[in-house]
Amino acid sequence: MTVRRKTTIRLAVGPVAAITVLACLVPAAAAEKAPVNVPAATKTAAPAKAAGAAKTAARTSSTGGEQSIIALVNDEPVTGFEVRQRVEMLSGANVAPKAQERFKALIKAPSTSERLKAILQEVIKANPGKNKEQILAVFEQRKKQFATDLQKQAVEGARTNVLPAVRKAALEELIDEKLKLQEAKRVGAIVPDDEIDKVVKGIAERNKLTEAQLAQQLGGSLSPMKHRIRSSLSWNEVIRRKFGHQISIGAKDVDKFVATAATGGEDQLELSVQRILIAMPAKLDQAGVAQRVAEAETIRAKFKDCKSTGQIATGVAGAKFDELGKRKPSAFPEPTRSMLLNAKDGEMLPPAVSENGIELFAVCGRDVVKIEEQKRNQAEGELKQKEFELLGKRHLKDLRQDAAIEYR
């Protein structure tokens, strides 16, 4: 690897990460109760004007602007803008735990208790003639502001400790990604945009966010995440093409891996289940329910096998056929669960009234899968993944050694 270094550049980063972390911390009103939780971020913090001014100042600091070149990777630039975006994406996860620790320590500190007592005295002195409830209401407002200040103090302290390492990690990660994508382009393994979009959409859905909300949590843009995903998926394809034929996991390797895992040899049952659901109006008297149950019994009497289940539901008002497929017994509530387990294959259960309506379940088959077999399949997959990761690291190391990397 050819590494050339020019003047040292301090990477600029705005306060977006700190603001995001602060928004994720527990509400200030809960400060006196001490527990601090960092929920999945669904909010971003607020002070737009101050944050915007601070961010602008940070972006134009010693890097010489966002378009300045921080490094060259085989003559391909890594810009200050890319570094700042990556720092904002990485810093939340790094700053949040440290901020939590510092906030808890500040809450428990004797000085915090003394300060709250002093604030109460200040409120009493500043509000002569007010009753107890009025004074306590003012005190609660002051206490919330005090907790907010402690949160800010905790975040800023965490940022001071964490950001130098995050800046370095962000730059090195971007250099690695440049090398990975250069290699993927060379062998024609670049993953297309539509696959990247599917992955991003899946991430947003799993976190119960829109893509716009996800972008907001990542500093305002999905570009850094998409670049990271493209690099990762394209690199996986490079390694698969180059080394896939070399990876062979033997039975002894699997045996050894399984032996070190937790034991358990129970059989796991999966049932193939169909359902006919007969809906009921929200307001239905006992006679109406009895009529619906009678209709369900008529359907059940016509049942011959699982091939005809959908047909016998046709013509019954409000009846809907569902092919539920393979389900674990635990997916069903009692007593349906026990009835399904005791039913024969090709048998329809008696109608049952549920909150959904009148339900008719048919058992169409069952599979017994040994947990041991599942463990072996899982073990083989994990061992293959480890081999891929090891080969990927070696190949990336070789690319770095052969690359011309210039730090500016």
Model confidence over 25-81: pLDDT tens digits? 333 333 333 332 323 333 333 333 333 333 333 343 334 456 799 999 999 999 998
- Greater confidence (210 vs 158) lies with 210
Q: Evaluate if residue 282 carries a pLDDT over 70.
A: no
C-alpha dist (Å) from residue 82 to 70, 79, 169, 342? 9, 5, 13, 61
* 134 CB-near residues (< 8 Å, 6+ apart): 127
**DSSP element (H, E) containing 175:** helix 132-187
Of 323, 317, 336, nearest in space to 279 by CA: 317
Residue 262 near residue 372 (C-beta atoms within 8 A)? no
Q: What's the token pair of residue 250?
A: 């033997």
Average pLDDT over the chain reads 77
* 275 CB-near residues (< 8 Å, 6+ apart): 321, 322, 324, 359, 360, 361, 362
The three-class DSSP label of residue 368 is: strand
Locate tokens 């735990």: which residue?
Answer: 97
∠ at Cα 210 (209, 214), nearest 5°?
Answer: 70
Weakest mean pLDDT among 140-154, 267-281, 306-320: 267-281
- Domain residue spans of the chain: 2-187, 268-370
Locate tokens 């007969």: which residue?
Answer: 278
Model confidence over 201-234: pLDDT tens digits? 999 899 888 999 888 887 778 888 899 999 999 9
Q: Evaluate if residue 18 carries a pLDDT over 50.
A: no
Of 109, 27, 15, 98, nearest in space to 54 by CA: 15
- Enter the CATH code of domain 268-370: 3.10.50.40
pTM: 0.49
Residues above pLDDT 90, as percent of the chain: 23
∠ at Cα 164 (179, 111), nearest 5°?
Answer: 150
Chain centroid to CA 120? 42
Model confidence over 353-393: pLDDT tens digits? 777 788 899 999 988 766 567 777 888 888 888 888 999 99
Residue 78 near residue 84 (C-beta atoms within 8 A)? no
Q: Evaluate if residue 398 carries a pLDDT over 90.
A: yes
- Mean of the pLDDT values across residues 187-199? 92
pLDDT of residue 41: 32
Model confidence over 315-345: pLDDT tens digits? 788 888 999 998 888 888 888 888 888 888 8
